[in-house]
């Protein structure tokens, strides 16, 4: 008999990482319980429209993920939150919000990330000025097929502010969220597809195009879509009497302050450790890093292992990552979990 056969694994979180990990564990012979705090699985992917770098419809990825977790060995339980983890001999007991104690042989945490709440950067005016929206709000507009200002007008001049809630010690997030740069490039191009004559500007500190085909997408956005990139971090936003937005920024390459009037401003919200992950870390003594994400046991060869025997990590609960990397990380956790079963049985 294979060592993973009939072992009970609880996967906490039903986003990309949790669905993929559950599917792979089930195929390895484990009996999986997947806990999802929302009423349905899918996580952040279900709010997205198109995905970089190939502009594929996110529904395709969602369908794949849901199909992965559609397996006889998997019980999906929605509306259930994991309260804490407790070791009992070799087992890990998961206490749920409903007062249950689920006994398992291993637990995979796939608690994911929360999008940065842009209201915390008050100087950008999210939730103060009507036409300052977040990158997530824009995806919803794309999904609904209509990009409009609050007054119903089609915006002609649109700005993107990079690094909102990332690389910013004022909100206690020193780290780079990695995906917002390329998301801005993708969204800027999508705007041009929706509004042909729109003028689109990206305000950035550094263009971090470190993923497969990101730089190519960036170049295409300049060449074929005419997106204008201005190097400088927006310091503040105000509005004028016609409810047009005025951004203040230094064009650091020209070496002069620049002022611009826009119809709509999109804030590229970064990724933060999820609140549910944070609660688990506190209640169960799981180690977190300086950036508040779960600290993996080893940066090079233990990125799926935690400081607690039998408890593993998958996906963005350990660091910001894109969907490709999340799925890879979720697949990798199966190797660590089955290794663990082999060792405790030996």
> Which residues ranging from 194 to 223 are in contact with another protein (CB under 8 A)?
205-206
What DSSP string describes 10-75?
EEE--SHHHHHHHHHHHHTT-EEEEEESSSSS-GGGGG-SEETTTTEEHHHHHHHHHHHT-STTEE
Please choose, out of 78-86, 246-254, 290-298, 310-318, the segment that lies near another protein by the rule CB under 8 A.
246-254
- Shortest distance, position 158 Cβ to another protein, whole Å: 19
* 237 in contact with another protein (CB under 8 A): no
Please choose, out of 43-51, 140-148, 167-175, 308-316, the segment that lies near another protein by the rule CB under 8 A.
167-175
Cα 207 to Cα 228, 248, 261, distances in angstroms: 13, 19, 23
d(C-alpha 303, C-alpha 57), whole Å: 29
- Shortest distance, position 204 Cβ to another protein, whole Å: 9
Residues touching another protein, count (CB under 8 A): 23
**Which residue among 232, 277, 296, 310 contacts another protein (CB under 8 A)?**
232
Please choose, out of 70-78, 164-172, 272-280, 331-339, the segment that lies near another protein by the rule CB under 8 A.
164-172
Tokens of 30: 């484990």
Place of tokens 């915390």: 120
Closest to another protein by CB, 161 or 337: 161
- Shortest distance, position 81 Cβ to another protein, whole Å: 34
Beta bridge partners of 264: 158
- Shortest distance, position 233 Cβ to another protein, whole Å: 4
Sign of the CA dihedral with 72 first, then 77, 81, and 87 last: negative
Tokens of 93: 């007991």
* 256 in contact with another protein (CB under 8 A): yes
d(C-alpha 286, C-alpha 239), whole Å: 45
Closest to another protein by CB, 84 or 291: 291
φ/ψ of 79, rounded to 5, equals 70, 20
* 252 in contact with another protein (CB under 8 A): yes
d(C-alpha 122, C-alpha 31), whole Å: 47
* 169 in contact with another protein (CB under 8 A): yes
- Shortest distance, position 255 Cβ to another protein, whole Å: 6
Instruction: Give Cβ neighbours of residue 193 (< 8 Å, ≥ 6 apart).
Output: none
Tally of residues, the chain: 346
Please count the other Cβ atoms lying within 10 Å of the Cβ belonging to residue 77. 15
* 255 in contact with another protein (CB under 8 A): yes
* 248 in contact with another protein (CB under 8 A): yes
Determine contact, residues 258/251, Cβ cutoff 8 Å.
Answer: yes
* 261 in contact with another protein (CB under 8 A): no
d(C-alpha 56, C-alpha 61), whole Å: 9
* 123 in contact with another protein (CB under 8 A): yes
**Which residue among 92, 109, 132, 163 contacts another protein (CB under 8 A)?**
163
- Shortest distance, position 174 Cβ to another protein, whole Å: 8
- Shortest distance, position 62 Cβ to another protein, whole Å: 34
Closest to another protein by CB, 158 or 230: 230
**Which residue among 59, 114, 220, 250 contacts another protein (CB under 8 A)?**
250
Q: Using CB under 8 A as the criterion, which residues of the chain lie in contact with another protein when the complex forms? A: 123, 163, 167-170, 205-206, 231-236, 248-252, 255-258
């Amino acid at each position: 008999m294979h060592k993973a056969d009939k072992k009970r694994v609880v996967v906490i979180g039903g986003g990309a990482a949790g669905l993929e990990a559950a599917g792979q564990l089930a195929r390895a012979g484990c009996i999986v319980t997947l806990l999802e705090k929302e009423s349905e699985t899918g996580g952040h992917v279900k709010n997205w429209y198109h995905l970089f770098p190939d502009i594929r419809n996110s529904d395709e990825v969602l369908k794949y993920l849901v199909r992965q977790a559609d397996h006889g060995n998997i019980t999906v339980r929605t509306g259930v939150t994991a309260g804490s983890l407790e070791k009992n001999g070799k087992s890990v007991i998961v206490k749920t919000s409903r007062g249950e104690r689920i006994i398992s042989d291993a637990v995979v945490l796939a608690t994911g990330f929360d999008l940065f709440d842009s209201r915390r950067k008050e100087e950008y005016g999210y939730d103060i000025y009507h036409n300052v929206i977040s990158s997530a709000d824009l995806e919803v507009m794309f999904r609904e097929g209509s990009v409009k200002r609050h007054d119903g007008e089609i915006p002609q001049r649109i700005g993107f502010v990079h690094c909102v809630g990332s690389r910013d010690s004022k909100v206690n997030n020193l780290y780079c969220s990695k995906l917002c740069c390329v998301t801005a490039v993708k969204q800027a191009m999508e705007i041009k597809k929706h509004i042909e004559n729109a003028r689109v500007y990206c305000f950035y500190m550094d263009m971090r195009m470190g993923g497969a085909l990101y730089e190519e997408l960036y170049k295409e956005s300049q060449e074929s879509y005419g997106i204008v990139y201005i190097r400088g971090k927006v310091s503040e936003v105000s509005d004028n009497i016609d409810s047009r937005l005025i951004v203040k920024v230094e064009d650091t390459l020209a070496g002069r302050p620049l002022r611009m009037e826009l119809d709509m401003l999109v804030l590229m919200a970064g990724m933060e450790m999820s609140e549910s992950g944070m609660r688990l870390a506190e209640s169960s003594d799981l180690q977190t890093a300086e950036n508040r994400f779960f600290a993996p046991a080893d940066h090079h060869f233990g990125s799926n292992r935690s400081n607690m025997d039998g408890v593993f990590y998958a996906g963005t609960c350990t660091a910001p990552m894109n969907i490709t990397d999340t799925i890879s990380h979720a697949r990798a956790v199966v190797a660590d979990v089955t290794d663990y079963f082999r060792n405790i049985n030996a």
